[in-house]
Structures are given as structure tokens and as C-alpha cells.
Amino acid sequence: MNFEVWPEAIELGEMFAAEGYELALVGGPVRDLLLGRKSHDLDFTTSARPEEFEPILRRFGHDGFWDMGRKFGTLGAMRRRPDGTEVKVEVTTYRSDRYDPNSRKPEVDYGDSLEGDLSRRDFTVNAMALRVPDLEFVDPYGGANDLNRKVLRTPVDPRQSFADDPLRMMRAVRFVSQLGFSIEPETASAICEMVDRIDIVSAERVRDELTKLLLTDAPRPGLEALVESGLADRVLPELPALQLEIDEKHRHKDVFEHTLTVLDRAMALETGPDGPVPAPDLTLRLAAIMHDIGKPATRRFEPGGKVSFHHHDAVGAKMTRKRLKALRFDHHVVDDVSELVNLHLRFHGYLDEPWTDAAVRRYVKDAGHLYHRLNRLTRADATTQNKRKAKMFEQAMDDMEARVIELKKQEDIDAIRPDLNGDEIMAELGLEPGPIVGQAYRHMLDYRLDHGPSPRDEAVAELHRWYDETHADAE
């Protein structure tokens, strides 16, 4: 095979060979090389021990060196090209891992051959190597053929592979989306049989794989594989729960299929890097797959064959918060996704009767920094096949967004505050800090949202009117 290989890989290979050590490019970089993709993060394996190749790597890495993986036999280095591009390399000694069946953390044993090292890789398409500097292609497990067939298969028996490292099952469904591959039948069967093994993997590791899946260009097939394999039952049970039974009497949308369609539509509404929701946006995509998870718990069969899901937005928001916290997502992600789920039906009242300016202000105020994501989630959620209804919905959203633009020309509705601040409220009413001041502040904020900016004397008059009606008798 002919390869156009990174010059840094050739140079590093020559440096190792000069010291009498073997070096090979392995894993994702080799796979991507065959796929015609380029990466600036290069993984290598070597016959040398870390203490032996550390001096070589320090000489190579003019601009950085790290050894956080030393206990696993891994050291890393970085250099910058003249154009500013960073090339990062990580080198690991040949490995022959042993696993504790109750843990996915290997007990590291150094190996003595490249082929043995490749046998411990997750999938055959990642078990190919390219020796450097002589560019000998090494493929003992048929990875190139599987790459050509777009198939995911383990180098050894899949049950042994997944028993050793259960996270490989999550990587399999992620690669379905990331690479557009299918899982080979025996490998897929092993995943279905061994899904309970994923329970020993930390929530953070599962979260990272789910995040990588969602941020691919085509997450739908990976999510379908996650559900079909049974993995979702263990790591994201709210998703397969959306596969509600649909009978002839109680007709409603397939909520799972609807959810995947909403995800596709939301992704299509992501913007370029300078837009309000740059692609890929994890918060929007998480909100898309979670927005209806409250429906199974709120489904009710109504007279006349109708089905209702009252308050599924509020219920779903609580469920979303609980699940994302369990998966150890950052607090801001948990808060933002939960709030998007809570607000995703908010706009629908606009269809019944166009809002007053006060209602528009409240919508923007409540959405806050999530305004643009909320609008995109709302648009994506309108999956009706009725062309007339779809057009009416789009026109209503366009109209509301245009009104927001006009209101923003008149006032900063993104940062609306009451016409009187807390200190002014206390001074006017002769109060010390306490609950009544908070109540007064909230009332004046509502007044501001309802009436727009008011002259100071009108705001003061409204404050006293409210206080006299609600608290003066308690003095």
C-alpha cells in the first residue's frame, strides 16, 4: 500500500530506530489514513520501555512533554509546525493487559510484539499498524477488509473483549455514528448478551462516549444501536421508554421516532461558528433527545380515542435533571438542558392568540441565554405532516422572532430589570433587607414586563400601591 504519512511520524520512527527500538503508528490515525482523513494527534506503540524512550520523546517534543500516563506505559509530546499547527504524539510500550473481572482498569503488563499489542485493541479497524520509518503495513486481524466493508468486529472473541473492557460496547455504538459502520452480527449479539457489564464502568466514561456520539454528524444510527443493543436500558433508560405501544384506538406519534426526527431537525438549525448556536451544540442535541421523556409517565387515554400527555414538559424537566446528574454532566449543562425541556411547549400558546408585548418580553426573559436554542428546539419539535399547520407554525415563529427584534431596538429585553432596584425599594418603603423586599422586587419586575419602561414617579406610585394593598395592614 502507498501512504502519504505525516513527516513527524517518519522523523520519530528514525529517532527510535537509531536507538534500536521498534515504533509503529497504531489505531485511529492508521484507520483515518486509509479513510483519507488527516489527524494531528498521533498514537504510537513501541518495543521500548518508557524510561528508555523518554529522552527521545523529549528531544522530539520541542513545545511540550507530558507523562500523566506513565503508569500505563504512555508518554506524550507536542511540537508546532511553522504554520502554527500543533502535532501531538503519544507513545505507549507494547502491552499485554490483564483485567480484573470487577473492574475495567487493566493491570498493565508489557508485551514483546506489535501483533500481541494489536490483539488487545477494541476493533479490527483500530488494530492496524504502520511501522515507521519503513512504512510496513501490519494488519493481522483483517481490519482493512472490515474497513472496506464498513463493519465493526473485535480482534478476539467479542465476549472476551467486552468482558475485559465493557466500555468497548459504548464505543461500538459511537462508531456506528462516527464512521457510518454497522456492527458485525456476532459482535452485536455479544453486546446484547453482556449489557449488564456496562454497570462497572464509571458514569463519567459513559457520559464521554454518549457525548462523542451526540456530537457526530449523524447521531441517529448510533442512538438506534444504543437502544437496539439494550445498552440504553442501562445508561439512558428514558430513551427506549419512548417506544410507546401504538394501537388503532389510541393513535399518537411514535415518540421514539419523533424524538430522533426532532434531533435531526434541531441539528439542521444549528449555525455556523459566528451564529447564535454553533454546530455541533451538545446542549441543543441533549434537549432534543430528552424533550419528551416525560410522556410515558404522563400518558392518559382520553374519551374519543385521544391520548394526552399533560405536564410532560415539567415532568420531563425533572427526569432530565436526574438523569444528566447521574451521568455526571457539568452543572451548567444539566441546568440548561433541563430548562429547555421545561420550556419547550411555551411557544405553543402563541398559536392560539398572538402575544402581547408583555408576553413576548416574558418569553425572552424566561428563556434568557437559551432563547436561540429554545426557538430552534421549538421549530424542530413541530413535526406535523399537515402542510397547512406546518406553514402556520413557521409563520407564527417568524412573527414572534421579528417582534423580539423590534422590541430589542426599543429596549434591552435580554437584561430587563425593574424600574426600581432593591436599594430604592427599601428606601421608598422604609424597609430593612428581608422577604418583603424580594416580593416587592418581583412585583416591580412583573410590572416592568407588563408595561415596559416607566418614568420613576409612576414606578414609585405603583410600588406604594402594591405595598398598601398587600402589606400595609401587617405593619
Domain 1-143 has CATH 3.30.460.10: yes
**Are 324 and 338 contacting, i.e. CB atoms less than 8 angstroms apart?**
yes
pTM above 0.85, yes or no: no
pLDDT tens, 354-390?
788 888 888 988 898 999 999 999 999 999 889 999 9
CA 153/CA 172 separation, integer angstroms:
9
What are the extents of the domains in the chain? Answer: 1-143, 240-415, 422-474
Q: In which residue ranges of the chain is pLDDT below 70?
A: 1-3, 97-108, 245-253, 411-415, 472-475
Residues whose CB is less than 8 angstroms from the CB of residue 118 and which lie 6 or more positions away in sequence, other chains included? 26, 127, 128, 129, 138, 140, 141, 155
Nearest to 299 by CA among 261, 344, 243: 243
Here the cell at position 334 is 444539566
| pLDDT for the residue numbered 462 | 84
Q: Which amino acid is at 8?
A: E
Give the model's pLDDT for residue 250: 44
Burial class (CB in 10 A: 0-12, 13-18, 19+), 370: buried
Backbone angles phi, psi at 23, to 5 degrees: -145, 135
DSSP 383-439: --S-HHHHHHHHHHHHHHHHHHHHHHHHS-GGG---SS-HHHHHHHHT--SSHHHHH
| CATH code, 240-415 | 1.10.3210
Quick one: CA torsion of 36, 37, 39, 43, rounded to 10 degrees?
Answer: -60
